[in-house]
Structures are given as structure tokens and as C-alpha cells.
Structure 1
Amino acid sequence: MLDILKALVLSILLVVPARADQPLTVFAAASMREAMEEIGTAFAEESGTSVLFSFAGTGTLARQIEAGAPADAFVSADAEWMDYVVDRQAVVLGSVREIASNRLVLLAPAGSPQLKPGASDLPVRLEGERLAIADPETVPAGRYGKAALQALGLWDRVSSHLAPMDNVRIVLAAVARGDVPFGLVYRTDAVVAPDALVVYEFPEDRHPRIRYLAAQTVNGSHAHTDRFLQFLAGPVAQEILHSSGFLTDKEG
């Protein structure tokens, strides 16, 4: 009987690959796509472990993780959604770390004129048109955008002209196609949009600090999750983030 059990255990070990040999699954904010994919490649070269990403709006990912989605790590575009999954014990509290920050900008199709200082002419130029924005109720970029527009005294004048979208990359695509005259995105999104240009950059003191936080999920079991989180905060990943336009420890 003992020999049969030993044989059964051995057969299971031979059939099921070691977790370290399987891809590490990371749910990450849509605004980090290009940088994260480059970081994933660098991590695979160093560790031998490939990284499988799922990109979407932070709120969507947070709710999926809360529901037990098979992710090993979560990268959030703000502290509020990270607090959400921490409060629901969906991520490991001691694993949470900040990896980068960002700036907020207004984007327009290529060839559009710049906004006046303070963006005071935005309401006039939106007359009869829509401002694309990530949903202010659920998406970090939308919340930051609402706060910035309120601080500039513009929210009440533009709120009836909004076109809320699921994440900043959908906003980016809408602007690049010329579907809308303006879109509110992160500065790093503008870097990957050759058909659009920044017409206004919001002062950092007009909205909460944009913080990207990473953590290990409680349902994740990959052997290299902690190693990946350390890598995100290390020099290679930080240089990639910095080169992609994110604010890191190399920049305030």
C-alpha cells in the first residue's frame, strides 16, 4: 500500500510542473502596459520565469482579485483601490509597495492649438463636443481628473460634456482617432500616442498624488512573486519606468 502511495505522489509530481516554471500572472493598470511588458521581459531574462499580464482599469482588476481571480500580483494606479483589496484581505498587506508616480495631462488630436494657461478656455472649446475621461466613479485617472478640474474651477462647466470610458487607454484611442477633441490621460499615455499631443499639463498640486502600488495577492501561489515585486522596486525596472515617463525614485 505504501509503495502504491509513493508511486501516486511521484506521478503527480511528474505531471504537475513546479510553480516556478509556470508564468507568473500579474494584473496591472492599463496605463502601464508598455512599461510592464518591457519589465516582464527583463524579469524573465534575469529569473527564467515568464510573466503573463492582464491589463484593464484598476477598479475592474481590483474587483476581479477580490472575487478570487488567478493573479499572483496586482499593480494599482492609485492607493484607494489598493486599500480596497487590502481591506478585503485579497492581497498580502506586508507586500504592498509604491513603485512609481505620474502626471495628468489633457490630450488633443495632432495639430490642435494649446490651451491657455490654467486651461481656462477648455469649456469654450468643448461647446457641443465631449471630453473623454476615464470614469470618475471607478477609475483612478478619472478621479484625479475630476479633482484637478474642480481645483481649477472648471468641473461645473465641463461635467455636462463628459464622455466617461472604462480606462485611459480607451480615452487615448478616442483622441488619436479624432472621435473627441480632448481626452484626460496620464503623461505616460501621451508618449505612446503619435497622433495626439499634450495641450495642457495639470499642476501636481491640483489633484491627489498619482501613486502606482504593487502587492502580492492572497490567492497567488507562484514561487517568484516576491522576487518580482522586489524587481519592480529595483534599478532595472525603475529605469524602465523612468524611461517610459513615469516618476520614480530617480525623479520627484
Structure 2
Amino acid sequence: MKRNFTITVQLICFALMYSLFFAGCINVEEKSPSQNQSENVTIFSTSGAQQAVEVLSNQFESEKKISVLRNYASTGVLARQIQRGAESDLFVSANAQWVDYLIKKGIVSEDRSVAFTSNSLVLITAVSENPQVPKFRSDYPENKLLELNLTIGDPGYVPVGNYSKMVLDNLGWWNTMKGNLLLAKDVTTVLHYVQRKEVTFGIVYHSEAVNAPNVKIVAEIPQEFHETICFFVVLLNKNNTNAVELFNSFNSRKSREILTERGFLPLEEHCFL
């Protein structure tokens, strides 16, 4: 009787171990390497290229059924974040300076950056305003310059500010006006100041002005007064195949046509690193 009881207990224990072993094996799938890799793409982009990045990213998301995560700020801020280790697959810059910065830091190679579109500068005011518009010439009266209520991007931080300062320098206006200028952290902030009528005029990219509400263009700024405005896209993570595809799509003929419709300009021959 005792022997039969021992055998029964052993059988029960064996059955329990057997069932627990297979229970632990149920629904366990070995994922392929492609399933473990993230399909999403992260872009760090200058605020001045937001219109371009939005339209191209939305199109890519629709085609690939993935998410393109976007972070907009001034070019210099983003470049420094990337240099300090912030993770991004692509970087969009509003000039060559910050691309060169990352190349010199050894973060990216020159063959993984390309110019994809160009732009111009315009003078804007609020839609409801009708101020006297300054003439972009070197002999414009100094007393009228002192009366101009103008905002530009901060030349120390954002490319749109650098281009704007070039204009004022080349016209001989900078020294007269610099104490009265309202400096903005990026081109979006310039737009906001004008939209809220905190200032009379602002200098922004043409693409921003034509797509922004409650502002109007009152003057096209001659391109002879500043360097050619070029936007670059940089591939930071070549191991993300979707990022590589999006990088290539930025410089496609189809994308250039889309951007031209949104107020950007065809690439200039001077747009190179």
C-alpha cells in the first residue's frame, strides 16, 4: 500500500513538471532581426525648414505606414544636442555651417549630407497693417532707420538671423539699427512677433511667409545682399533603412517639385559644402 502511494505521488509530480514545462513554451516566438529593429524615423530639423519637413515626412509616413518623429528648434541648438549624444536619424540644417560643425566633430561624414532646397528672404508685416515700407538701398535715411520697428532671428543662434544681419551689414544699416532690433530665437518666433503686432516688420524665409496666417509680404529682399540660402539634410543613422530612404527622398525630383509649390526655391549651384 505504501509502495503504491509513493508511485502515485511520483506520477503526479512528473505530470505537474511536464505541464509547467510546456506551459512555459506556449506563445513564445523567436523574432527575426528585422522585427526587433525600430521602423520609426526621428528628425531634428531647423524651424526654418518646418514646412518642408512636414510635407515630405507626411508623404513618407503615408507611403511606408510608419511614424516620422519631428523635433524643431534652432539649427545651432539641435547640432549641439546631437554633438552631446541626442539620438536622431536625420538632421536638417538651414546652412552649411552647422553641417560642417558635425563633420569636424566626427559625428557624420560629408558624403552623408546633401543640399535639397533653397530659399529667399522677405519683409513681412501683419495683414491688417499698412506701414511705410523701407527701401532696401544704402542711402536710406538714417532717421527713418531709427524709426523701423523690426524683428529678426538672433544672428548668434539661427541661420535666418545670420542671413538677415548680412542684409543689414551690406546695406550699411546694422550699426544704426542693432540697438533697436528685437532678436528672436528662431524664424517661427519672428512670425509670432509680427502676427501679434508686437513689432511692425520681420525678416523671414519666403516659404514661411507664404504659408503663415495673418502676415503679408511687403518686400522681397534682393539676394545680392546675402549668401545663397541652402537647406541640407544629413543622415545620422545609416542602420535605419527607413531613415536612409527618407534621406534619399528629400533630394528626389518629386520632392523638389512639392517644395517649389510650398514657396521654396530650386537648388542654386552655390548650394554645396
Contact kept in structure 2, 1:123 and 1:158, CA below 8 Å: no
* Separation in structure 2 between the aligned mates of residue 70 and residue 11 of structure 1, nearest angstrom: 29
1:189 maps to a residue whose letter is E
Larger Rg: 2
Matched, 1:179 2:188: no
Matched, 1:196 2:215: yes
Contact kept in structure 2, 1:115 and 1:121, CA below 8 Å: no
Name the stretch that deviates more: 171-180 or 231-240: 231-240
Matched, 1:76 2:93: yes
Partner of 2:144: 124
Give the TM-score normalised by the residue count of structure 2: 0.80
User: Cα gap change, 1:53/1:121 in structure 2, threshold over 3 Å: closer, same or farther?
Assistant: farther
Contact kept in structure 1, 2:117 and 2:267, CA below 8 Å: yes
2:133 maps to a residue whose letter is L
Contact kept in structure 1, 2:146 and 2:176, CA below 8 Å: no
Matched, 1:107 2:124: yes
* Separation in structure 2 between the aligned mates of residue 17 and residue 28 of structure 1, nearest angstrom: 28
Partner of 1:239: 257
Provide runs of 4+ in structure 1 moved above 6 Å.
Answer: none
Partner of 1:228: 246
Partner of 1:133: 152
User: Cα gap change, 1:250/1:89 in structure 2, threshold over 3 Å: closer, same or farther?
Assistant: closer
The partner residue of 1:37 within 43, 54, 58 is 54
- 1:174-198 deviation per Cα after TM superposition (whole angstroms, max 9, x unaligned): 1011011111111111112231112
Partner of 1:160: 179
Return the offset for 1:91: 2.2
- 1:193-246 deviation per Cα after TM superposition (whole angstroms, max 9, x unaligned): 23111222211111111110111115x642222211110011232122111111
Partner of 2:72: 55
* Separation in structure 1 between the aligned mates of residue 146 and residue 122 of structure 2, nearest angstrom: 16
SS across alignment from 2:218: strand
| CA root-mean-square deviation | 2.6
SS across alignment from 1:171: helix
1:234 maps to a residue whose letter is S
Contact kept in structure 1, 2:145 and 2:173, CA below 8 Å: no
* Paired residues, number: 241
**Unpaired runs of at least 5, structure 2:** 1-24
1:178 maps to a residue whose letter is K
Partner of 1:4: none
- 1:131-181 deviation per Cα after TM superposition (whole angstroms, max 9, x unaligned): 211111121000000011111111111111111111000110110110111
User: Cα gap change, 1:41/1:123 in structure 2, threshold over 3 Å: closer, same or farther?
Assistant: farther
* Separation in structure 2 between the aligned mates of residue 143 and residue 249 of structure 1, nearest angstrom: 20
Contact kept in structure 1, 2:149 and 2:181, CA below 8 Å: yes
